[in-house]
Chain A
């Protein structure tokens, strides 16, 4: 029986879709069977980030409307074994789907996959209740800024209310330099407020923009710091004990290193 994990944040633009795409790909690279589900009906993006937009024929709406079998709507990612995408309909809106219908889809997918990652839309309305309807676990993505954290806090409250457990936190777009000079909240501040288990920290990486535009998730590239972070998070999801590296200290180290390399 696979695990259904909803990836959510409350606030938009903190990296839910990027995280879903990278964690899904990373889990597949680790040999798991994964389906990533776009629950952002009407504003779908996951297909673009995955580079699969041209291959979508059926969406979850077609499955619900019984236009096709669920297995036919799954788009297989040819770059890695065991990774498929269930796209959202771009023509409909979130109210066209009921939470129970989403749950039914997730329950079916669970029987054939190790991991079902559901990419939740921003907000706390129907889109969120649809995305979380079939989930048994949640990953809350936040950036270390006050507005994202307040929204994450709100969504954690709603997830707890829905009795979804465990809830794990991913701190995205973490910038050791900004923390170093005091203009960004550090890990301890974030954990103090949100007070849930930390699954990982993804450093700020401009490579995310190019990877999104090219439709190639970062985890395919060995060189990126964010890719390494996502790989580590994926390993933790599979139950491996991987320590969370202290990015704040590494930040100081790399800034000293940068200072030396600039001099020479």
Chain B
């Protein structure tokens, strides 16, 4: 599904439209149309920054894109930027299911070197468990309305029905594993995923992690 010519990304400072170099304006235009039609929510009225991977577009092409985006999609172009690489801040939202969250602060740890903490009971609505130093292992459920946050992984040996935030210090490789994964919200580092309401338990353990497409993916947990 990923568009190889243009990509629409949400960064901390707003929406960016990233355009690959060496392409004709018609190809770019077509790719933009595809990319925008992929969104299930209209971007009407948004302001975007266009990141051009060198070399820059012609002056008249830029003007054409600016008016085209305004007329067709009601998008205001803030500015054109020529960037050499992918911009440095990590993407905070990539798919429509993700939202912009507070930035990561501390450097990520490695899984082996960090401590873990065992919670030998069920965490009920309104209760929270925070363990920024490492991973959390819960010998019970995390009920709807409860919240667990860990610097590393979160493993729930029961049902995860509330909110879980793994990798709260920014470790993107953090995972969330639950015997029954039916959460309200999942967050890994600064990626967030909301599970569709009314989703039923699948009856097998599942693992959530950040996939290749910069979204949290959930799949059957077989082995790590």
| B-contacting 9-mer, from A42-50, A51-59, A150-158, A231-239 | A150-158
CA of A150 to CA of B146, assembled, Å: 10
Interchain CB contact under 8 A, B124 and A153: yes
Given the interface pairs A192-B159, A195-B122, the reply to whether A157 lies near B127 with Cβ below 8 Å is yes
Closest B residue to A158 by beta carbon equals B126
| A-contacting 9-mer, from B69-77, B89-97, B137-145 | B137-145
Determine if B161 is an interface residue (Cβ-Cβ < 8 Å). yes
The contact of B125 among A151, A160, A192, by CB within 8 Å, is A151
Nearest CB on A from B124, distance (A): 4
Interchain CB contact under 8 A, B144 and A157: no
Given the interface pairs A146-B144, A193-B141, A195-B141, the reply to whether A153 lies near B125 with Cβ below 8 Å is yes
Given the interface pairs A192-B159, A193-B161, the reply to whether A156 lies near B144 with Cβ below 8 Å is no
Residues of B with C-beta under 8 A to A160: 124
Residues of B with C-beta under 8 A to A195: 122, 141
Residues of B with C-beta under 8 A to A158: 126
CA of A195 to CA of B161, assembled, Å: 14
Given the interface pairs A193-B141, A193-B143, A195-B141, the reply to whether A154 lies near B125 with Cβ below 8 Å is yes
Residues of A with C-beta under 8 A to B159: 192-193
Residues of B with C-beta under 8 A to A192: 159
A-B pair number, CB within 8 angstroms? 32
CA of A146 to CA of B162, assembled, Å: 13
CA of A153 to CA of B161, assembled, Å: 12
CA of A153 to CA of B127, assembled, Å: 10
Q: How many residues of B contact A (CB 8 A)?
A: 11
Residues of B with C-beta under 8 A to A124: 126
Residues of A with C-beta under 8 A to B145: 150, 153-154
Closest B residue to A151 by beta carbon equals B125
CA of A192 to CA of B180, assembled, Å: 12
Q: How many residues of A contact B (CB 8 A)?
A: 13
Of listed B122, B124, B161, residue having the most chain A CB within 10 A: B124
CA of A144 to CA of B80, assembled, Å: 56
Given the interface pairs A192-B159, A193-B161, A195-B122, the reply to whether A150 lies near B144 with Cβ below 8 Å is yes
Residues 131-154 of A, flagged 1 when their CB comes within 8 A of B and 0 if not, give 000000000000000100011011
Closest B residue to A146 by beta carbon equals B144
CA of A150 to CA of B122, assembled, Å: 14
CA of A158 to CA of B125, assembled, Å: 10
Interchain CB contact under 8 A, A154 and B141: no
Nearest CB on A from B74, distance (A): 39
In B139-167, the 8 Å CB interface with A consists of 141, 143-145, 159, 161
Residues 161-193 of A, flagged 1 when their CB comes within 8 A of B and 0 if not, give 000000000000000000000000000000011
Nearest CB on A from B29, distance (A): 48
Interchain CB contact under 8 A, B122 and A154: no
Residues of A with C-beta under 8 A to B126: 124, 153-154, 157-158
Nearest CB on A from B212, distance (A): 35
CA of A101 to CA of B143, assembled, Å: 34
Nearest CB on B from A153, distance (A): 4
Interchain CB contact under 8 A, B141 and A157: no
Closest A residue to B145 by beta carbon equals A150
CA of A32 to CA of B123, assembled, Å: 37
In B74-88, the 8 Å CB interface with A consists of none
Residues of A with C-beta under 8 A to B143: 150, 153, 193
Closest A residue to B127 by beta carbon equals A157
In A200-229, the 8 Å CB interface with B consists of none
Residues of B with C-beta under 8 A to A156: 124
Residues of B with C-beta under 8 A to A150: 125, 143-145
Nearest CB on B from A242, distance (A): 28
CA of A124 to CA of B126, assembled, Å: 11
Residues 95-125 of B, flagged 1 when their CB comes within 8 A of A and 0 if not, give 0000000000000000000000000001011
Additional A-B contact list (18), CB under 8 Å, known A153-B144, A157-B127: A124-B126, A146-B144, A150-B125, A150-B145, A153-B124, A153-B126, A153-B143, A154-B124, A154-B125, A156-B124, A157-B124, A157-B125, A157-B126, A160-B124, A192-B159, A193-B143, A193-B161, A195-B141
15 A-B contacts (beta carbon < 8 Å): A146-B144, A150-B145, A151-B125, A153-B126, A153-B143, A153-B145, A154-B125, A154-B145, A157-B124, A157-B125, A157-B126, A160-B124, A193-B161, A195-B122, A195-B141
